[in-house]
């Protein structure tokens, strides 16, 4: 056998092994139901990833609900692009950034109002995907209590998936999740004085 043939034979053996391993794992993953995903950590990409999945679900004509818990007054390119889709509902907290308003009581009321909307979506079997964007901060600030959120998630329709985004996700939410991705900040432009950019950061 030439060197090339030996290499080819080795490659084929490795691929066969890999294929049987992957096939076995695919065969084991047979349960079908909605899932709870958490996108957390300090690195960039949590909200972007959630909107990517929203686009994916809308692409199949599924009903999708997005609740934005913190950036109400901020522009958002994805929202602008997708808001005319009749299968998408978006609700945003009116007051914008908590550390901008610094009015605890007004923020708490705004959070409660938008949570009502989230609760409706979490009860609606026509909604295939719900995004609770930046909800982790609402739990951290004590504007929402973990028990209400847990109950709403546990009682949601079986086929419904939920994506939670935000830093420092609550331990009890983490315990419930099917998938957790921790975005790790290796570097962020902001720390080198680069301003948040339209179409890139929002």
Return residues touching ligand ATP (CB under 6 A): 42-48, 165, 167, 183, 185, 188, 190, 196, 201-202
CB 41 within 8 A of CB 49: no
Active site residue 97: yes
Residue of 7, 13, 17, 56 with catalytic role? 56
Residue of 42, 106, 123, 151 with catalytic role? 42
What own/partner pairs with CB < 8 Å and gap ≥ 24 does 75-84 have?
75/198, 75/202, 76/202, 77/198, 77/199, 77/202, 78/51, 78/54, 82/51, 82/54, 82/55, 82/58
47 binds Mg ion (CB under 5 A): yes
Q: Which does 12 bind (CB under 5 to 8 A by kind): ligand ATP, Mg ion, none?
A: none
Distance (Å, rounded) from C-alpha 119 to C-alpha 166?
19
CB of 107 or CB of 133, closer to Mg ion: 133
CB 69 within 8 A of CB 97: no
Active site residue 179: no
CB neighbours (10 Å) of residue 143?
Answer: 21
Helix H or strand E segment including 85: none
Active site residue 48: yes
Binding-site string for Mg ion from residue 61 to residue 80, where x marks contact by CB under 5 A and - marks none: --------------------
Q: Kindly tell me which residue out of 46, 79, 156, 170 binds Mg ion, with binding defined by CB under 5 A.
A: 46
Residue of 28, 99, 100, 197 with catalytic role? 99
Active site residue 159: no
Residue of 74, 97, 101, 140 with catalytic role? 97
Q: Under rule CB under 5 A, how many of the chain's residues touch Mg ion?
A: 2
Please list the active-site residues: 42, 44, 46-48, 56, 97, 99, 134
């Amino acid at each position: 056998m030439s060197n090339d043939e030996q290499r080819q034979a080795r490659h084929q053996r490795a691929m066969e092994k890999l294929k049987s391993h992957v096939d076995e794992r695919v065969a084991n993953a047979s349960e079908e139901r909605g899932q709870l995903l958490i996108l957390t950590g300090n690195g960039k990409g949590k909200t972007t990833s959630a909107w990517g999945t929203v686009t994916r679900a809308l692409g199949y004509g599924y009903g999708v609900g997005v609740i934005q818990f913190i950036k109400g007054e901020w522009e958002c390119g994805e929202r602008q692009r997708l808001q005319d889709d009749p299968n998408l509902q978006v609700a945003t907290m009116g007051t914008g950034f908590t550390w901008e308003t610094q009015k605890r009581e007004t923020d708490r009321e705004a959070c409660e109002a938008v949570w009502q909307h989230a609760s409706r979506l979490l009860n609606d079997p026509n909604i295939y995907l719900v995004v609770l964007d930046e909800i982790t901060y609402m739990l951290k600030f004590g504007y929402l209590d973990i028990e209400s959120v847990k109950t709403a998630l546990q009682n949601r329709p079986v086929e419904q998936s939920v994506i939670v985004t935000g830093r420092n996700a609550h331990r009890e939410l983490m315990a419930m999740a099917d998938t957790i991705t921790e975005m790790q900040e290796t570097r962020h432009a902001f720390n080198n004085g680069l301003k948040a950019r339209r179409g890139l950061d929002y």
